[in-house]
Structure 1
Amino acid sequence: MKKIMTAILCLIGTGLFAQGTTDPRLKGLDTLVKRILKDWYAPGVSIAVVEKNKVVYAGGFGFRDLEKKLPVTGNTLFAIGSCTKAFTASLLGMLEKEGKLELDKPATQYLPELGFHNEYLNNHVTLRDMMTHRTGLPRHDMSWYGSSASRMELLKRIKYQEPSKELRQSFQYNNFMFLAQGMVAEKLTGKSWEQNIRERILQPLEMSTTNFSVKDMEKSADRSPAFTVKKDSIISVIPYRNIDAIGPAGSINSSANDMAKWLITWINGGKYKGKEIIPAGYVSQAISQQMALDGGGLPPALHPDIHMEAYGLGWFLSSYRGHYRVEHGGGIDGFITSTGFFPTDSIGIFVVSSNGNVTALVRNYIADRMLKLPNRNWNQLQLDARAKGRAAAAATKKTNSDSLLRKSNAKALHAKADYAGKYENPGYGTATVKLERDTLWLDYNSGGKQTSYLEHYHFDVYKVRDMENPDDNATRIKFNTNYGGEIESFDVALEQGVKEIVFRREAPAMEISKAELQKYLGEYQLPGILANVYLRGENTLMLLVPGQPDYELVPVKKDLFKIKALEGFNIQFDLNDKGEVTSMNAIQPNGVFKAPKK
């Protein structure tokens, strides 16, 4: 990871800025952006401003490469994150016009592979519910973020993800629902989501630089790296986050020049150069309130003229200083984007940078200028808010309640090696705990990098610590012990409003030959029942208890097997000095039952 000490003022002062726009409303934009980049330690920003059918400005300020001092241009590629959602939702609007689907029909009717947590949701969640984030499911983002799971694998996790609200009760942002929409389009058209978007939107709009993956983005000479800021003085280049699997929710990369065409299309009711690209009927629905949001974004006492928030179809709707605004943000590692337009004013604005404050401030300043609104010092307001936030964070750190919760001198209940293993949750995938250098490491969606280690808290509770960003309020995980005294799972709070996510430990793979399994075969006398252990196929040990289904026995340790279909049930065989099996112990939650071999 490259670290470059910021001399932002010096870098900006080199004059490598895009030329100013000729529109008098944006006079002095370069000076304004220069100040914002300096105050918020951002290397560069890309901007597009459109009005009716005209591009007022499309270009950039600052640098896409700090070392080589390469400037941001109108064609510089940036990840637009969740601004992708309007593209995916528009695709479904096109398919509806073609008669291939109805937005108010159950989604599972079009995508049988999709399943929800219960049958009621399976039968009642519509495509419109998914498009408006009102399915009752919270984000569950930790399931996909950083995961190597495929698109289909992620889709199949949805059925195991617990809702936190009733259907249509509340707005709850959910990326999985847009993944599913993309897969609906794939199912109905026989083409990938990417191919659909390219053929139906990008090509007609002449969006020639836009692509769908950071793999393609890396091939471009004119692209921005992903940046992060540390300690307000160090800009670091970080790796691109590959989110191809969840692509319909946020994987598009684009430029100011291309996004200007996208905005012009929306301002003109779905038409580009006089030709309808997005159905007019769908456009009307998309920018109309479909779902109310709970509460507002900014404090009304501070911003009384910014109010009303709702969600359309792939767009947030709000009132901005008395003007009707349609907008969506996007955020993925190193990029923060805003794409929006004012339908009644026919003005559109696209801004992307590596810093969320830069994106929002530049967007608001441009909106105020284009709408001829009274000047408001957005930058100073945000600087003041940052200072207050830091003061509050410092005070919170001093009064951290962590020490009040922790039981002092409460040692771990197991040796470190006992916690190691693979743990799985069907809705969240696999987590691996490893013991290396006398330290427990947690690998979950890290691609094997193991950046998190486990710090003992008390008893069987550990804190998940990050090597680069230690946090006193770090996530805790609680390991659970079965009746046999072995670690069988861990609980972790990954999503608010639902029960803790339980990752169950996978039995380590153990190879046993057919010859070795032979010694376990035979009949065993349980109280009043004669059980039978037999082989199915070459090397699968089975247990038959009269009146019950046949159970597969999975080897865990020498002479110890777990019953695959019954959590917490194990079979331990006893051997004599000659190595002959003499009895079988059925280890169950309600006790241990010995069955002599007949």
Structure 2
Amino acid sequence: MTSRNRLSMQPARRRGVPATVLLGAAFLLAAQAAQAQSPAPPPPTVEEIDAWVEDAMARWEVPGLGLAIVYEGESYLSTGYGVRELGRDTPVDAGTLFSIGSCSKAFGAATIASLVEEGKLRWDDRITDHIPWFRLHDPWTTQEIRVRDIVTHRVGTGSNQPLRPLVADRRDYLMRLPHTDPDHAFRDRYGYTNDMFVLTGHLVETVSGTDWDAYAREKLWNPLGMTTTTARMAPANASPNHAEPHAIIERRFIGNAATTGMPLEPVPWQYAEDVTVPSGGVITSADEITEWMRFHVGTHPNPPLSRASVELMHTPHTVIRNPSSWMPFEGPGAYAMGWSTGRFGDVTGVGHGGNALGFNCSIALAPEQGFGVWATTNRNSELPWVLTQWAMARFVGTEELRSRDWHAEFERSVAEGNRRVFEAEEARQAARLDQGPSVPLEAYAGTYRNGYAGELRIRLTDEEVPPLMPAEGRLGRWDGTPGVHERPAASASAGAQRNGADNGSANGVGARGREMRLVAEFDGRERSVRMPLEHWHVDRFDMWFGDVRIGVSFMLDATARVTGVEMDYYGRFERVP
């Protein structure tokens, strides 16, 4: 049973030919053009949308989906499809809560805009004017970075998701950024970053004196009537109407998480809300995101920000030469403030994509046409992007866009991504040496340190080390962290068995009769993060954070003394004497 809110069918708006008397050939040409112009096709009916979505969900193997469409500035459709959780008869409806990942970034930019309208911030204020302790990788960038820089993806910091299981809070996260190398020079080009939207959360809290969720609720959500929208997991999970995320059961499948044909299971929600918000982490429903879209296309009766602020947030700031699949435009475009923007056929598209463990989201607007579409799924899937592109094409697109097979285009993209992943893994396997550790395992044990991840302890133990349950929620990948690792099934399990044998043969068994093995340990958000090391070859080991493989290479000096560790994602650690 679906819940839906639908605007009665109306013909699409068109501009008529001006009734100006023209002379000679010019008049004839205008008349012929007017005669030849065909009326815009009607938008798809609700029944047509239902059929398309239900077929698409089967094609992409999606348990549940929320959908909202605004047309001519009013709600056209707000509904749900499928189930909130596999194995249970709990239908998704227009009020079902989903985590929307990086679609949260537009809310982050809007809270900054609200502070600007209050006179508490200016877009060109230096960050250090408000957060004196803030530092980046070099002094000049630290002093020059302005408020508008942090919402336009041009700072160059990248995204440091591997820190999330380790840091205590947002400030702890930000204080580690000076220990990272930039992805590109400051203001040099577009470079997607979660880090700077993490900074927006801290900036809002510092300037407003309240936490980000409370500020967004007072200044944005309550005025729009978004009463159940939140950035906190506890109230969302306490709601009887929330979707459960789903993930691939195979723990070491590192192809595209949208790959079909893999068994799914419900999993707990995952994100470090006191770190990631508002880079990600907003939770909302189809009914309530409808009000957000109406506000952005200019038809909400109680807008929380001026139209000038909205238009500024939609204005291009940082050129994007090669758009990502989640962007609602094709060819060169730009990142605005919490939104990407560019041309989609004959209209300007504004939108964003979002990804969290077990959730994907897409929002696309054509503000000048009063159109918006939002789609979200309770598994990682390309379907929200397919659906928003299809809906944009059908409601405001050209004939060429309406005729395209959006499913096939995205399926080819997934297949090509998986091909590259598997080829890289085959090359890694082929380069593996049949050679054990160069020193006894106890020689690797010790304490290592770097400024980014802190203290790393390598222990040799015969203790049972259970599968890692990250402080962010579950056995699984960091949300949004890419992995290029093992194929599913045989290669993963066989590799783990062989690695265990290698460790055993190198060091025997402990006093309890169990195999000795190396374990890496970090200080974590709520408890120690412990990961067993599996020998790969020589002084190279692998450790697994759920389905993310982290390569660990020990460094030895000329006397075969272990002096340090180079670790994927975390960099180089020096051994502590």
The two structures have a TM-score, normalised by structure 2, of 0.75
1:419 aligns with 2:494: no
Q: Give the equivalent residue in structure 2 for 1:327.
A: 351
Distance 1:279 1:159, change over 3 A: farther
CA deviation map 1:426-455 (0-9, x unaligned): 223444434344232345569669685322
Cα distance change on mapping 1:78 and 1:184 into 2, 3 Å: same
Task: Report which stretch shifted further, 377-386 or 210-219.
Answer: 377-386
Paired residues of 2:68 and 2:77 also in contact (CA < 8 A): yes
Contact 2:364 2:388 in 1 (8 A): no
1:44 pairs with 2:64: yes
Preserved CA contact (<8 Å) 1:52 1:267: no
Equivalent of 2:518 in 437, 440, 456: 440
Partner of 1:341: 365
Choose from 502, 507, 521 the match for 2:572: 502
Pairwise CA RMSD of aligned residues?
Answer: 2.9
Change (3 A) 1:278 1:20: closer
Aligned twin of 1:247: 277
- 181, 187, 196: which one aligns with 1:168: 187
Q: How does 1:55-70 map to 2 (within 5 A)?
A: 55-70=75-90
Deviations 1:442-484 (A, max 9, x none): 4556966968532223332222346x75x8xx54222234799
Does residue 293 of structure 1 match 2:320? yes
- Answer yes or no: is 1:150 the counterpart of 2:174: no
- 1:514 corresponds in structure 2 to none
Look up the SS of the partner of 2:278 in the other structure: helix
Looking at structure 2, the residues matched to 486 and 448 of structure 1 have their Cα atoms a distance apart, in angstroms, of 31
Partner SS state of residue 71, structure 1: coil
Which of 109, 123, 130 is the matching residue for 1:89? 109
Among 72, 75, 81, the alignment partner of 2:95 is 75
> What amino acid maps onto 2:109 in structure 1?
A
**Partner secondary structure for residue 70 of structure 1:** coil
Alignment match of 1:284 (pick from 296, 311, 314): 311
Deviation at 1:113, TM superposition (A): 2.3
Measured in 2, the distance between the counterparts of 1:174 and 1:464 equals: 26
Counterpart of 1:501, as a letter, is G
CA displacement at 1:171 relative to structure 2: 1.4
Higher relative contact order, chain-length normalized (CA < 8 Å, sep 6+): 2
The amino acid that maps onto 1:237 is P
- 2:234 is matched with 215
Q: Give the aligned partner of residue 234 of structure 1.
A: 263
2:4/2:77 contact within 8 Å kept? no
Quick one: which amino acid aligns to residue 260 of structure 1? T
Q: Distance in 2 between matches of 1:106 and 1:188?
A: 13
Q: Is 2:70–2:373's contact at 8 Å kept on the other side of the alignment?
A: yes
> Could you say which residue in structure 2 is the equivalent of 1:477?
552
Aligned residues of 1:213 and 1:242 also touching (Cα < 8 A): no
Measure how far apart 1:43 and its partner are.
Answer: 0.2
1:351 aligns with 2:375: yes
- Summarize the Cα distance change of 1:123–1:450 in structure 2 as closer, same or farther, 3 Å threshold: closer
Match of 2:542?
A: 463
Greater Rg over alpha carbons, structure: 1
- The letter for the 1-side match of 2:98 is F
Cα deviations by residue, 1:284-341 (Å, 9 ceiling, x for unpaired): 2211110012423369xxx9x8222210011111222332111011111001111221
Q: What do the CA deviations read for 1:228-275 (whole angstroms, capped 9, x no partner)? A: 23571412112211321221211211111111111111110xx731x4
Match of 1:381 among 383, 406, 409: 409
- Structure 2 gaps of 5+ residues are 10-42, 250-259, 463-514
Q: What is the 5 A alignment of 1:87-126? A: 87-126=107-146
Give runs of aligned pairs for residues 510-549 of structure 1, distance below 5 A.
Answer: none
Q: Flag the 1:484–1:282 CA change in 2: closer, same or farther, 3 A.
A: farther
C-alpha distance in structure 1 between counterparts of 2:233 and 2:280, whole Å: 11
Q: Which residue of 1 aligns with 2:257?
A: none
Deviation at 1:283, TM superposition (A): 1.5
Give CA-to-partner distance per residue, 1:201-253, whole Å, 9 cap, x none.
Answer: 11111101111122222111100111123571412112211321221211211
1:393-448 deviations in Å (ceiling 9; x for gaps): 555655x25433x4442x32333233345544322344443434423234556966
Deviates more, 1:451-460 or 1:325-334: 451-460
What is the aligned counterpart of 2:291 among 241, 258, 261? 261
Question: Distance in 2 between the 1:233 and 1:92 partners?
Answer: 41
Alpha-carbon spacing, 1:227–1:483, altered in 2? closer, same or farther (3 Å):
same
Change (3 A) 1:320 1:442: farther
Q: Distance in 2 between matches of 1:491 and 1:69?
A: 48
2:535 maps to a residue whose letter is: H
Q: Aligned with 1:249: secondary structure?
A: coil
- 1:333 and 1:122 map into 2 onto residues whose CA distance is 32
8 Å contact from structure 1 (residues 50, 347) kept in 2 = yes
Q: 5+ residue gaps in structure 1?
A: 1-15, 495-499, 508-561, 563-598
Query: For the structure 1 residues 446 and 198, does the alpha-carbon distance in structure 2 shift closer, same or farther, using more than 3 Å as the test?
Result: closer
| Equivalent pairs, count | 473
Relative to structure 1, is the Cα distance of residues 64 and 416 closer, same or farther in structure 2, using a 3 angstrom cutoff?
A: same
The match for 1:524 is none
1:312 equivalenced with 2:341 (yes/no): no
Distance 1:287 1:62 in 2: 33
- When residues 140 and 417 of structure 1 are mapped into structure 2, their CA distance, relative to the original with a 3 A threshold, is same
Q: Secondary structure at the match of 1:352?
A: strand
How far does the alpha carbon of each residue in 1:468-506 deviate from its partner, in whole angstroms, 9 at most, with x for none?
A: 75x8xx542222347996544311242xxxxx712344x
- Contact 2:63–2:86 at 8 Å: present in 1 too? yes
Give the superposition deviation at 1:379. 1.7
Kindly provide the amino acid, as one letter, of the partner of residue 377 in structure 1. Answer: D
Give the deviation of 1:130 after TM superposition.
Answer: 1.2
Identity, % of aligned positions? 22
Which one has the bigger helix percentage? 2
Quote how far apart the aligned CAs of 1:37 are: 1.1
Amino acid in the other structure paired with 2:409: L
Match of 2:564 in 1: 489
Q: What is the CA-CA distance between 1:95 and the residue it aligns to?
A: 1.4
Q: Distance in 1 between matches of 2:267 and 2:54?
A: 23
